[in-house]
Structure 1
Amino acid sequence: MNDDQPTGNPWVKSLLVWGGIFLALLMVVSMFGSRGDVGQAIRYSDFRAKVAEGTVAEVQVGQDRIVGKYKNGDSFSTVPIPNDTSLPQLLQEHDVSYAGRAPEEPNLLLYILVQALPFILILGIAFFALRQVQKGGGSGAMGFGKSKAKMLTERSGRVTFDDVAGIDEAREELQEIVEFLRDPGRFSKLGGQIPKGALLVGSPGTGKTLLARAIAGEAGVPFFTISGSDFVEMFVGVGASRVRDMFEQAKKNAPCIVFIDEIDAVGRHRGHGLGNSNDEREQTLNQLLVEMDGFEANEGIIIIAATNRPDVLDPALLRPGRFDRQVVVPVPDIEGREKILAVHMKKVPLAPDVIPRVIARGTPGFSGADLANLVNEAALLAARRNKRLVAMQEFEDAKDKVMMGAERRSMVMTEEEKKMTAYHEAGHAIVSVNEPASDPIHKATIIPRGRALGMVMRLPERDSYSYHRDKMLANLSVAMGGRVAEEIIFGHDKVSSGASSDIQYATGLARNMVTKWGMSDKLGPLQYEEQQEGYLGMGGSNRTMASDETNKLIDSEIRLLVDTAHKRATEILQTQSEKLEQLARALLEYETLTGDEIKQLMETGELDRPEEPRGPARTNPVNGSSIPKAGKRFSGGPAPQGA
């Protein structure tokens, strides 16, 4: 074992020290409190009997104690009865040598020690507790002003830039900081100065914290990590004290890197609070601004911060000299998703049919965290199915679970509810197929998933970075397709609440088109709503910047867009009523259809696929794959009675 490593708990060591002090005090008390060798204590009646027997040699008689010795040399002591005048005569009759015993003087030191011992113990315990609190990182009353920053030392599980994929531009910008720390002369000889700070900006799960860990693994310099919320306390001035303490620690270890996660917790705009309610946060921010770039320069300290809310940060925090670089960490494109999948798949035994490119193509909009979760879910599914390798089927099932939620096959639905759900989802699918600007259908199902009774999942063919008007109008029509199908098949009075989420989506999309994106001919390309923070910066809402008459016009334009989409969906479904019947009956038969199967059914009116197993699926004992039942052809014919 390494001799430099601590060999015990510091709490145990402190307790042993104080226990030793306590025992030493007891020894001192016992030493000063000793009254000499007084021998065995006996009763006074026994003492008189011993004298009468002639076994007592000599005694010393005092007012409160008689001490003596037997003829065999043993000592004894007893407490006399007051005013016993017969004792001297008894001693003389039996030839016992006796003398008087002077009263003992009180020991002043003993008295002081005995009286002070409880207070010494109380003070010792209090000092011990406060000392431990101060050592514990400032969690108690004596350590409020101590920084909670922790130095990251990853001896195992070290993360490097090789573990970061899909965000090449962000990685390159941060690699330059690492290179500067390794070889500052290469840049300084041309007049370049080391950046003082870098702000990582991106959606949740895109890899901001992972990038910071990679910098820690690559730089080879001390790396302190802290959360923005660790600065803010209920007492004014504590946050500023913690900022000062953090930079003092960093100066002692310069050159070093300080990583502040979720900096928006302390770096929000100043002046948004009411009265003095935000003094603590603003004082903390002011101290952070001064420490980063104030009167005294902090050479060799690089601040790296991460946030997904750059819009709420104070402008003084974002200026050059504090955060010289704002590194955007975006959601990865298809190339990035493929690289991220390759990183996470290294730890998973894959079957030969797994193609990361295909999975990446079917996961648009997934962040790095989403893809890591996808690989993990696929591995869990394979383990649940007792497979040795994770196959493509597990990845497809995991993707459906992540996108649409877990299947709720235990949920019991009546035949009427299943029929309505089938026509509802068929309505969405038919409108989507007939809208050229709509994304292709990935899968349609009437199996309850998550909070939905059924779902039509559409996926774009490629990554898109802008949202066009024709696609928005197509999405509005697709959203109305389920409600329109219910109206056509079951009638106005039998329309269900299943379209509530569709209506909510359509209303929100239409409102954004009118108030934010300038897609109303009557209102023109103006913004009528803006995002604002809620009370004291908590939450957020949309604030309308328009007069009452303009608000009425906004409402009428939103209504016009949704009504137009409703009419468009009605026209499509009325002209495609036969295909609506076919698709609904196919969903009732198979419960889940892929996009290719829906396309085949729309083009040929028939569908060839293995029969969906009813009950537990049979598995191949060799490789664990499912064995389909005999193939079955679905042919669209006359609609069943009552459909």
Structure 2
Amino acid sequence: MFEQNRVANTPETLAEYVKALTRLDRLDTARFHALTQRGSGLGGSGAVRQAADYAPSSSSYTSSWGSGAGSGGGGYYGSGSAGGPGFAAGPALGAAGAAALGGSGSAAGAAAEGVLGSPKNPLVMTFAEPSFSSQMWRTVRTLGGAFILVTCLGTLLDDKGLTKSFLNNPDLKPQMNSSTRFADVKGVDEAKHELEEIVEYLRDPHKFTNLGGKLPKGVLLVGPPGTGKTMLARAIAGEAGVPFFYCSGSEFEEVFVGVGARRVRDLFTAAKKHAPCIIFIDEIDAIGGNRNPKDQQYMRMTLNQLLVELDGFKATEGIIVVAATNFAEVLDKALVRPGRFDRHVVVPNPDVEGRKQILETHMQKIPKSADLDLSVIARATPGFSGADLANLINVAALHAAKTGLKEVGMRSMEYARDRIVMGAERKSAVISESSRKLTAYHEGGHALVALLTEGADPVHKATIVPRGLSLGMVTQLPEEDVVNRSRRQMLARLDVCMGGRVAEELIFGPNDVTTGASSDLRMATTLARAMVTKYGMSERLGQVALDYDDGNSMSSETRAAVEEEVRNLVQGAYDRARAVLTKHERELHRLAAELMEKETLSGEQIRSMLGLRVVEAAAAANTVGKREGGGGGTTAIGMA
């Protein structure tokens, strides 16, 4: 590169070039003289002397230099007997060269050459860019090394159990003082009564083991979402004054095989150190589902370790495992057998009294207006869980604040209930006057038949404000939670369902009835079929239960008989509703006009406006028998 002038020509580079030639044994006489001539313009032969001092000591060649007259350096070069070329410059060579350059000739040479790095003699630097393949290989190599390092480090930490300390996992740090008590849990009195025995055991385990008895090691809380299962577990720990471990079933699963089993062991080891205590596993069905031979090994290892830990407990250790699930039917049989989770506590949705207590608890920190009646709201919210009721209070409070009210009253509560059950108001919906009139007569027919039919639930509200998919609705509230319904009550419900279609036919004629009664017809048909096939309320078919959905379980004659009985029940309800509305057609017109004007009327407003004597539901209508799902609750009949 020096010979091709690809580097700057300076004394330093010249000295390095001479050193390189000396090492390679390529410094001959001609090259040496060329170098001395080339270096004369760089400040004499000082650079050559500097390189000559680097020559090996074994060289026998010496040079005796004198002061040059104008060339900046001169000398004598001879050959020695060592066989290799070499030279040694006298110590006065640099000074002599510098003196030789002191004249006018040296000044002219410096001006001609210029200063290195000046505009006349610029310093040129060239950088060689790496190729694309080398860059790609370097990137892949770096990423691969980082991935291998992180994977090895994570596996090592997880295997040694250091991850928990690094991540500060709360599973191994129990809550020492739970502030929740049984008095804070409302609407599940039966469940609290069953769990009081667990509290007594945690307070004094020897009291129960003196006679050789053993309490269950595991308690399984089963119920719908939002009923307070986690709160019950916290209440057990708070009442007993013991530490409380909380974890979720999904926390035990990990991508590495065996991690879930190790976490189960760590959890139970920490629990034994804090005994007596409570371990609460929420959503245990995530790891406790039915085992299948086709399952992967890691899916079975976690459950197997949990089963072993439950069996390893002693009766005197004072550790209670409480688990919660919404799907008890999917749990493995080995998990719920006696000796493990053998006590099942059902946590159902609260009844009307429980809903009232829950509403009162949530309303303690919220200002209430004088017209607020929580018992009415409790009756209007059948099937609501504790979480649903908390959401109801929250929506009502937000609505009251939005409308500028200082207190939460019945108006806000009704708004919140309708929004949760039926959906938000469709304020942007453009409804013609004829459609509003038809909806008013439709809902008026429902309300009037409900008021004048024995066995029907009392009318709570009628409205023609569109909500969700409905253009209007009539809400009926039972006086109390209904466990069973009599045949009279079911027939009354059929009559109310047919009231809307009958009102349309009476006012607008058979040719102008609309599709608004589709949901009413579907509800009436479903109820009539249940009366025939499930409840044994058909005189023709007798006291039998039939599986109508299974086409192979009954003959074609039986299916035809069922359809005939269903048609008779629905047609009978239609005839009764028509008789009621024909007799009270004047009241129907008044009620429809009032609905078109005010859009929403309460049951009290309807009764006072019409001045009718409402037939109350008979007290003896409720019979003792098996409870049917969905038997009790609010009836909302509307126009789709």
Q: Residues 597 and 279 of structure 1: is their aligned pair in 2 closer, same or farther, counting only changes over 3 Å?
A: farther
CA distance in 2, matches of 1:379, 1:409: 21
Cα distance in 1, alignment partners of residues 305 and 486 from structure 2: 46
Residues 321, 558 of structure 1: CA spacing in aligned structure 2 closer, same or farther, 3 A cutoff? farther
Superposed CA RMSD = 4.4
The corresponding residue for 1:503 is 521
Structure 1 residues 232-258: Cα deviation after superposition (integer angstroms, max 9, x where no partner):
689998766765565455455544323
Distance 1:156 1:294 in 2: 27
Tell me if the contact between 2:289 and 2:332 (Cα under 8 Å) persists in the aligned partners: yes
Could you say which residue in structure 2 is the equivalent of 1:559? 567
C-alpha distance in 1 between matches for 2:296 and 2:543: 38
Task: Call closer, same or farther: CA 1:302–1:528 in 2, change over 3 Å.
Answer: farther
Query: Is 2:495 aligned against 1:468?
Result: no
Does residue 344 (structure 1) correspond to residue 362 (structure 2)? The answer is yes
Corresponding residue for 1:44?
14
What pairs up with 1:379-394 in 2 under 5 angstroms? Answer: 379-394=397-412
Tell whether 2:184 aligns with 1:177: no
1:444 to 462, 468, 489: 462
1:573 aligns to what?
581
Q: Which amino acid aligns with 1:565?
A: A
Greater Cα radius of gyration, structure 1 or 2: 2
2:530 corresponds to:
512
Q: CA deviation at 1:596?
A: 0.9
Aligned equivalent of 1:594? 602
Output the CA distance in 2 between the equivalents of 1:356 and 1:379. Answer: 14
Note if 1:205 corresponds to 2:226: yes
Measured in 2, the distance between the counterparts of 1:59 and 1:520 equals: 126
Structure 2 CA distance for partners of 1:443 and 1:154, relative to 1, 3 Å: farther
- Write the distance in 2 (CA, Å) between the matches of 1:362 and 1:563: 30
Q: In 2, are the aligned partners of 1:439 and 1:460 still within 8 Å (CA)? A: yes
- Kept after mapping to 2: 8 A contact 1:292/1:322: yes
* CA contact 1:201–1:308 (8 Å) conserved in 2: yes
CA contact (8 A) 2:444 2:591 kept: yes
Q: Compute the displacement of 1:309 (Å).
A: 3.5
Instruction: Give the Cα separation in 1 of the matches to 2:11 and 2:554.
Output: 104
1:214 aligns with 2:235: yes
The offset of 1:183, in angstroms, is 2.3
Normalising by structure 1, we get a TM-score of 0.67
- The reply to whether residue 584 of structure 1 matches residue 554 of structure 2 is no
Question: Partner amino acid for 1:169?
Answer: E
Distance 2:451 2:263 in 1: 59
Residues 15 and 47 in structure 2, CA contact (< 8 A), matched pair in contact too: no
**CA contact under 8 A between 2:178 and 2:244: conserved in structure 1?**
no
TM-aligned CA deviation for residue 433 of structure 1: 1.3
Question: Do structure 1's residue 453 and structure 2's residue 471 form an aligned pair?
Answer: yes
Provide Cα deviations, 1:540-598, integer angstroms capped at 9, x if missing partner: xx656613424444344333333333333233223332222221111111111100111
2:406 aligns to what SS in structure 1?
Answer: coil
Mapped to 1, the partners of 2:437 and 2:363 lie a distance apart of 41
Q: 1:427 to 1:160 in 2, by over 3 A?
A: same
Please state whether the residue corresponding to 2:437 is helix, strand or coil: helix
Per-residue Cα deviation, 1:54-90 (whole angstroms, up to 9, x for no partner): 9978975279xxxxxxxxxxxxxxxxxxxx9797458
From the superposition, tell whether residues 124 and 587 of structure 1 become closer, same or farther in structure 2 (CA, over 3 Å): closer
How far did residue 326 of structure 1 move?
1.8
Residues 246 and 281 in structure 2, CA contact (< 8 A), matched pair in contact too: yes
**Is the 8 Å Cα contact of residues 587 and 610 (structure 2) preserved in structure 1?**
yes
CA–CA separation in structure 2 for the residues paired with 1:157 and 1:586: 55
Counterpart amino acid of residue 13 in structure 2: R
Q: TM-score, normalised by structure 2?
A: 0.67
CA-to-partner distance for each residue in 1:500-524, whole Å, 9 max, x for gaps?
2223322332333333333334444
Deviations 1:578-628 (A, max 9, x none): 2222211111111111001111233269xxxxxxxxxxxxxxxxxxxxxxx
Q: Which amino acid aligns with 2:480?
A: R
Deviation at 1:381, TM superposition (A): 1.5
Aligned AA (1:394): S
- Superposed counterparts of 1:2-401, under 5 Å: 42-44=12-14, 49=42, 52=45, 61=54, 88=88, 93-94=93-94, 126-132=148-154, 150=171, 153=174, 158-230=179-251, 246-248=267-269, 250-251=271-272, 253-268=274-289, 276=294, 288-293=306-311, 299-401=317-419
Counterpart residue type for residue 465 of structure 2: I
Picking from 546, 554, 560, the partner of 1:547 is 554
Question: For the residues of structure 1 that align with 2:351 and 2:203, how far apart are their CA atoms?
Answer: 32
1:387 is matched by which residue type in structure 2? L
Shift in alpha-carbon separation, 1:386–1:582, aligned structure 2, 3 A: closer
Aligned residue for 2:216, secondary structure, equals: coil
Distance 1:393 1:527, change over 3 A: same
Is contact 1:364-1:460 (8 Å) kept?
no
**CA–CA separation in structure 2 for the residues paired with 1:514 and 1:138:** 66
Distance, in Å, in 1 between the alignment partners of 2:529 and 2:261 is: 43
Give CA-to-partner distance per residue, 1:155-213, whole Å, 9 cap, x none.
89943333212222212322332332232223223444232111222233222222123
Distance 1:581 1:391, change over 3 A: closer
Q: Say if 1:209 and 1:306, in contact at 8 Å, map to a contact too.
A: yes
Give the distance between the partners of 1:138 and 1:366, measured in 2 at CA. Answer: 47
Query: Partner letter of residue 14 of structure 2?
Result: Y
Higher relative contact order (CA 8 A, sep 6+): 2
- The answer to whether the Cα contact below 8 Å between 1:202 and 1:330 also exists between their aligned partners in 2 is yes
How far apart are residue 429 of structure 1 and its match? 1.0
Equivalent residue of 2:611, what SS?
Answer: helix
| Structure 1 Cα separation of the partners of residues 404 and 156 of structure 2 | 52
Change in Cα spacing, 1:343 to 1:526, as seen in structure 2 (3 Å) is same
Give the partner amino acid of 2:248.
Answer: S
Quote the offset at 1:312 in angstroms.
4.5
Task: Give the superposition deviation at 1:363.
Answer: 3.5
Decide whether aligned partners of structure 1 residues 545 and 250 sit closer, same or farther in structure 2, where only a CA change above 3 A counts: farther
Does the C-alpha gap of structure 1 residues 346 and 133 become closer, same or farther in structure 2, counting only changes over 3 Å?
farther
CA contact (8 A) 1:196 1:303 kept: yes
Residues 52, 89 of structure 2: 8 Å contact kept: no
- In structure 2, relative to structure 1, the CA distance for the partners of 1:519 and 1:314 (3 Å cut) is farther
Q: Which amino acid counterpart does residue 554 of structure 2 have in structure 1? A: S
Where do 5+ consecutive residues of structure 2 fail to align?
1-9, 19-38, 57-83, 97-139, 614-640
Say which SS state the counterpart of residue 43 (structure 1) adopts. helix
Say whether the 8 Å CA contact 2:356–2:378 is kept in structure 1. yes
Q: How many residues are matched?
A: 507
Q: What amino acid sits opposite 1:360 in the alignment? A: A
* Structure number with higher strand proportion: 1
Shift of 1:426: 1.1
Maintained 8 Å contact 2:449/2:581: yes
